[in-house]
Amino acid sequence: MKKSKEFMIIGAGWGRTGTTSLKNALEIVNIKTYHMEECFKYRDAVFWTNISNANGNANRNTFDKIFEKRGFQAALDFPAVSYYKTLMKIYPDAKVILTKRDSEEWYKSCVDTIFTTMPDYPDTSIGIRIIFALNLPGMGFTQMFRKTMTEDAFHLFDGKWNKSRILKAYEEHNEEVMRDVPSDRLLVLDFSKGDGNWEKLCPFLDRSIPYGTPFPRMNDKTSFQFKIQMYSIFGFLFGGFLFGIISFLFLAIGDVFFKSIV
């Protein structure tokens, strides 16, 4: 078995394929996992933008700063998944897990959820746009989303969102993983087909099955949409508050100035 803190799992599945459920499953069997949530928590946007600008080229010391030095043994979801090939070279003993689902189902799930959290997606709400414009998630996240997802994953370098282009990128990505990753190093999980279970995951991880613990089912569309609505409302109200303060100050200064010249 691997050392307790050695980096051991590379997620090759895009968001909305069960990565949050897999993250929770890995942590149940004591594999601390880096996910988009951790990217926000640690304010890692600039790090991933730099990785993108370097075309994914980096050495082990670079990634150890955000993975092993923080105790992470796995990385799933965006932004890390966009550079799974780099991670495979850097961590040659790590295994790869590809989470996937039907292409049309995946796209619809994205349209209903993660796409609407991206600053350059055409249908992103005003509230979410305000949040990014004010850098409320932290500095650099607007650029990180554009570089690591819109460009490096979806290949929308012209910024024009198109269903057929995104589906093509998704399907080609999955095909590439299944073609190029050695079979003894790869586990493919399609949760929609019942692959989300301990019996399939734990032997691959060299972990004992946690009998009596249900396999997690996390981050469903309804709960994700609720979070988006809350963020959007917050962004809209916060933006309105700032606009009100600025307008008040502008009027107050204007009133003082006007009185000073009459």
| Segment 21-71, tens digit of pLDDT | 999 999 999 999 999 999 999 999 999 999 999 998 899 999 999 999 999
The answer to whether residue 2 sits within a structural domain is: no
CA 77 to CA 99: how far, in whole Å? 10
Q: How confident is the model at residue 103 (pLDDT cuts 50, 70, 90)?
A: very high
Output the pLDDT for position 119.
Answer: 84
Output the pLDDT for position 1.
Answer: 42
Q: How confident is the model at residue 2 (pLDDT cuts 50, 70, 90)?
A: very low
| Segment 130-161, tens digit of pLDDT | 877 787 766 789 899 999 999 999 999 898 89
CB 77, CB 15: distance < 8 Å: yes
Q: Does the structure show a pLDDT above 50 at 175? A: yes
The answer to whether residue 21 sits within a structural domain is: yes
pTM of the complete model: 0.86
Domain count, the chain: 1
The answer to whether residue 33 sits within a structural domain is: yes
The answer to whether residue 90 sits within a structural domain is: yes
Cis ω on the peptide bond leading into residue 79 (within 30° of 0)?
Answer: yes
CATH number, domain of 158, equals: 3.40.50.300
- Structural domain boundaries, residue 188: 9-260
The answer to whether residue 4 sits within a structural domain is: no
Helices 103-112 and 163-180: crossing angle, nearest 10°?
A: 120
